[in-house]
Chains A and B, each alone.
Chain A
Amino acid sequence: MKKTFGGPAIVLDRSDINTDEIIPAKYLTEVTKEALKPYCLEDLKLEGFDANGEVLKKARVVVTRENFGCGSSREHAPWVFEVNDIHTVIAESYARIFRQNMFNCGMLAIELPKSDIDALMLEKDANGAIDIQVQLQEQKVVAKGNGQEMSFVFEISPFDKALVEAGGWVEYADARY
């Protein structure tokens, strides 16, 4: 199934957020994605962050720093975002398995340089809220706070783009191999 991208963003201003923080191991006993829904980012160690707060509930995009999703290979991390309607993560960089898991699920793990992430976070701080639109074909992220609109171009490998367009790796591989 193809996904929609963009919407209100939540900012997680820290590097090396690991998959245990995104979804703790004790919930890995669930055998459906839907059951993970209440536990999104439950163990995240970050000042001012509230895993039960409205900001996370409304978020459709995560904006964060370096090496996001490091640690375990659990696809429960992208899934807990997926079932909370967060289909886009924008970070300075990712751990390999997490990044691949996002694309394999037909979701977007967008990389932007530090200066762009800084600008997004500044805008969020100034306005308290930020809305992000993703234009996949143009490979562009457009961000609106109260201030002026900002747009950033991102790189995506043709393979990752094909996975998003196909709706994920199972669909792509099944049609091809």
Chain B
Amino acid sequence: MGRTTAEKIFAAHLRDEPFPGTKVLDLDRVLCHEITTPVAIADLEWRGKDRVYDNTKIKAVIDHVTPAKDSKTALQAKILRDWSRRHDIKDFFDVGRNGVCHALFPEKGYIRPGFTAIMGDSHTCTHGAFGAFAAGVGTTDLEVGILKGVCAFREPKTIRINLTGNLQPGVYAKDVILFVIGELGVNGATDRVLEFHGPVVEAMSMDARMTLCNMAIEAGGTCGICQPDMVTVDYLWPFIEDEFANKEAALEEYSQWCADADADYDKILEYDVTSLVPHVTFGYKPDCVKPASEMSETKIDQVYIGTCTNGRIEDLRQAAEVLQGRKIADSLRGIVSPATPKIFQEALSEGLIQIFMDAGFCVTNPTCGACLGMSNGVLAEGEACASTSNRNFNGRMGKGGTVHLMSPATAAATAITGVITDARSL
């Protein structure tokens, strides 16, 4: 019997199986940010175990609230900063070099096919786009990861999702994943990995694959996984060129992590995306989705473009294409937050920032900010936000506020009209 990508990675990283069904894995990466790590650090200190298992495998960033907005967030940043210095964690990203974790770490080439990674952040599933097993965990798992380099999992089953057909112009990875979550439901993939296959995924860039995998958790999934291929190798090449004679050699090495043709799946789902249209969410659960065109009565107070789901350069290009030569509606505010400094600079040199500013957008530094209602665009009671993020929970972006999730193109079109708008209708 063949194996899925996750099964191959589990077998290659198995440290211990204390009980049948419980697998303790060695970790290639332990990723840290300033919201969930400080408590782990404090607990390690309290236990007299202020150590790290490997300072080259641990990466840390201040990203959720940055630059600090008050004394409390300044303290969180300081705890992470001091700890990184104390343990000589070289890959630590502070103000000026920092960006949203799930955009920054992949951009630095830290995630490779076949890797295991954990982070105290539910959207760690994003990194599966590289053919890795990456899972969000709580602070205790993170703490043990930092100290021992291991994490325990129930071995997840895998749901295979075959995406066939062709995406129409103006329809993006975000629309695909919103649609898939609508089909699966918010717990349709609990204790499961979502393995994405098919020509639609093969044609996607790494940016788009990350958008796809980012929202696996919104269906309860442990990780979203794409198959490593030449697109993966091209993306990673600047970081791996010393390790391989050529790209073909890298591809051959990485292909070992591709699922076997006869792998055993929990379920195989197939969706032809040819007739898929731009989707948005309504209500307070990410599986409440419908076509954007059916939501054109919904008035919006704020448009937010950015986050680990859709704050990458391609996302900004797609939004700017819609905004070019246009102005946002007087009735709303527009905020764009490029996810990393590199993306910000690319957007500057490509003229995208100019387009956003001409349209009337506020451009912020790279940060999570408004995505979790902590800074840079928190909603007031009763307000509605069109957001390219991944969660529309009640109060997520501010108490009493409503969030509608959508692609950058749909968000840009919405900014222009003031109501939810399918960009293709402009």
Contacts and interface: CB of A to CB of B under 8 A. Distances in A.
A88 interface: no
A16 B186 contact: yes
A42 to B, nearest CB: 9
B201 to A, nearest CB: 24
Interface string A39-76: 00001010000000000000000000011001111110
A114 interface: no
Contacts of A169: 140-141, 144, 152
Contact of A157 (B64, B154, B372, B391): B154
A177 B148 contact: yes
Given A31-B42, A73-B122, A104-B141, A159 B15 contact: no
Nearest to A70: B186
Interface string A7-28: 0000000001010110011101
Given A31-B39, A97-B122, A159-B19, A73 B138 contact: yes
Contacts of B70: 29
A20 B396 contact: yes
B76 A31 contact: yes
Interface string A128-160: 000000000000000000000000000001110
B122 A24 contact: no
| Most central of A20, A30, A170, A174 by chain B CB within 10 Å | A170
B36 A75 contact: yes
Interface in B118-136: 120-122, 124, 136
Contact of B140 (A30, A105, A158): A105
A43 B47 CA distance: 33
26 contacts: A20-B395, A21-B394, A29-B73, A29-B76, A31-B75, A32-B39, A66-B187, A67-B186, A71-B393, A72-B372, A73-B136, A96-B191, A96-B222, A97-B138, A98-B138, A100-B141, A157-B154, A159-B18, A159-B21, A162-B19, A169-B152, A173-B147, A174-B49, A174-B147, A177-B15, A177-B148
Contacts of B79: 31
B150 interface: yes
B137 interface: yes
A70 B36 CA distance: 17
Contacts, number: 148
B150 A101 contact: no
A45 B152 contact: no
A78 interface: yes
A25 B373 contact: yes
Contacts of B374: 25-26, 28-29
B187 A170 contact: no
A168 interface: yes
Contacts of A101: 138-141
Nearest to B143: A170
B284 interface: yes
Nearest to A67: B187
| Most central of A67, A74, A174 by chain B CB within 10 Å | A74
Contact of B18 (A16, A26, A29, A162): A162
Contact of B138 (A20, A70, A75): A75
A93 B391 CA distance: 21
Contacts of A25: 372-374, 396
Contacts of A176: 16, 18
